[in-house]
Structure 1
Amino acid sequence: MKKTLKKLWFYIEIIIFFPLLIPYYFTTEKELIKQDNQKWVEYLSIQSKNLIIQLITLLKNAPEYRNLYYFRLKKGNLTAKIISQILKIIYRPCGYFFLDESCNIGGGLFIQHGFSTIIMADMGENCWINQQVTIGYKDKTGRPKIGNNVRITAGAKVIGNIEIGDNVVIGANAVVTKNVPPNCVVVGIPAYIIKRDGEKVKQELR
């Protein structure tokens, strides 16, 4: 009986959240959404191999993903934009995670515990952002440009018109205000390099 009720509730939830998939069928951003979906399914260990079930599960259970989904739809064609704006009235975005609509972001972005996280930057593919992270302007000169496969961990600040290279890890609570070369791990306030190309180092950023 319990198993039957659980299965019934599962199908009810699919019906409730299915309208969120309507703009997906119209949008020109399907490939980016699929790339995001793939990363979230992997990192959250979602068992279903059905794309529709995966999307509904994420839109229902991961509020940060819902913001990212709306962000992708906003970048697409007019039809999907209009539908998503209507759906936002019922399926509210996550209020504690801010992703600026002016950003250009590659596929595969994953937000883990996105509480109090702000992203105002252009980013590459397959990036991972944690909670209480701030990425954005220091002044009017510009905002960060972040490469591929970058991980920015809890509490870090990446500020100003700087470039973060590919395959960089920014440690918890680090404050980065200068360019970071590729293949580095940086920590500290102000941030400095502790690993570069797999070798332990201690170098200041320039």
Structure 2
Amino acid sequence: QADLFGGFDDEDRRWFAEGMLANAIAGAEHLLCEVDFGPFRRLLDVGGSSGGYTLALLEAQPLLQATIFDLPAMRPLADERIAEHGLGDRCRFVAGSFFGDPLPRGHDVLLLANILHDWETAECRRILAVCHDAIEPGGTIVVVEPMLAEDLSGPDHASVSGLTMAMLGGENRTQSRIGELLEEAGLEDVWRSAIGAQNSVVTARKPGGGS
């Protein structure tokens, strides 16, 4: 995982994170309508940036605790957001790369928000493999990002943004393709939301845990 922020100064990092934050807050509202986080107690937000998704989920679920995992450049902004929301007792930031560092353990739900579409299939398999290893048996992996209809007819946002992702080495996928990748990683019980105008959701569970 390249450090995409290596050439950024502090103002560049803040500008990027602010843009990501606005999208994440809107995305979290949609995600909360699709997935019941009530049964979960420990969230791992992989590639969670400054915590837009995580903080919204924590505010909606008072019993949830969370870890944000992202590159070191995001720590100051994430710590600032966590403090602003008064969630320092329920949320921590761990710096690292999912291509080179072990993910934090002990979580029963793992979020991949706008991550897989950044990468080609081989890299997605690597990401999902480390996520599978990190999450507790019986835990759930939640993938949320723009996804294409099965006949590739849309929605417009996924189709247009997919062109950008392709130029950057990634791609927007169908829900069934993401489900296949999750199953290849050893997960089961794949569930798919309705296709959303902006984002869609696919979840899957790691076997075990007495479920």
| TM-score, normalisation: structure 2 | 0.28
Relative contact order, CA 8 A, sep 6+: which one is greater? 2
| TM-score, normalisation: structure 1 | 0.28
Larger radius of gyration: 1
